[in-house]
């Protein structure tokens, strides 16, 4: 069955959070950027910040208020050390959490890299 819906490209921003990576060696950010472009969407912003809660929140607030950005994708900074505060920074900004997505990502990760 083919869909009769017309493709509507969206404007996407990509944020990488890392204390060790740079834009020059940001494989995850590169992958997201290429997939966004290859799928016909628009990469309208890409940035990298250190795993500092205030820095993450500041950039996310800027992007959230930007009417030219429809979606923000974030990668990195999700480890379990005290330095990893990306999840907490995001939680400070959104109104609703969809727990099922976290479960799905955990399952995919376990299948790919193990426990």
Tell me the sheet residues that pair with 73: 14
Average pLDDT, the chain: 90
Tell me the sheet residues that pair with 14: 46, 73
**Predicted TM-score of the model (pTM):** 0.83
pLDDT, position 106 = 83
More confident residue, 105 or 17: 17
pLDDT, position 65 = 97
Dist. CA 85–CA 114, nearest whole Å = 23
Residues whose CB is less than 8 angstroms from the CB of residue 55 and which lie 6 or more positions away in sequence, other chains included: 49
Query: What is the C-alpha radius of gyration for the chain, rounded to an integer number of angstroms?
Result: 15
Is 70 exceeded by the pLDDT of residue 2?
no
More confident residue, 109 or 7: 7
> What confidence tier does 94 reach under pLDDT thresholds 50, 70, 90?
confident
> What confidence tier does 85 reach under pLDDT thresholds 50, 70, 90?
confident
The residue behind tokens 């890409």 is 46
Whether 60 and 15 have beta carbons less than 8 Å apart is answered as yes
């Amino acid at each position: 069955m083919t869909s009769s819906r017309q493709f509507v490209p969206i404007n996407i921003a990509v944020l990488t959070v890392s204390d060790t990576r740079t834009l020059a060696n940001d494989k995850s950010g590169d992958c997201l950027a290429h997939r966004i472009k290859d799928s016909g969407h628009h990469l309208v912003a890409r940035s990298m910040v250190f795993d500092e809660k205030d820095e993450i929140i500041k950039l996310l607030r800027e992007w959230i208020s930007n009417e030219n950005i429809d979606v923000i994708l974030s990668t990195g900074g999700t480890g379990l050390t005290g330095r990893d505060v990306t999840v907490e920074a995001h939680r400070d900004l959104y109104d609703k959490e969809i727990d099922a997505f976290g479960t799905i990502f955990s399952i995919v990760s376990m299948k790919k890299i193990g426990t």
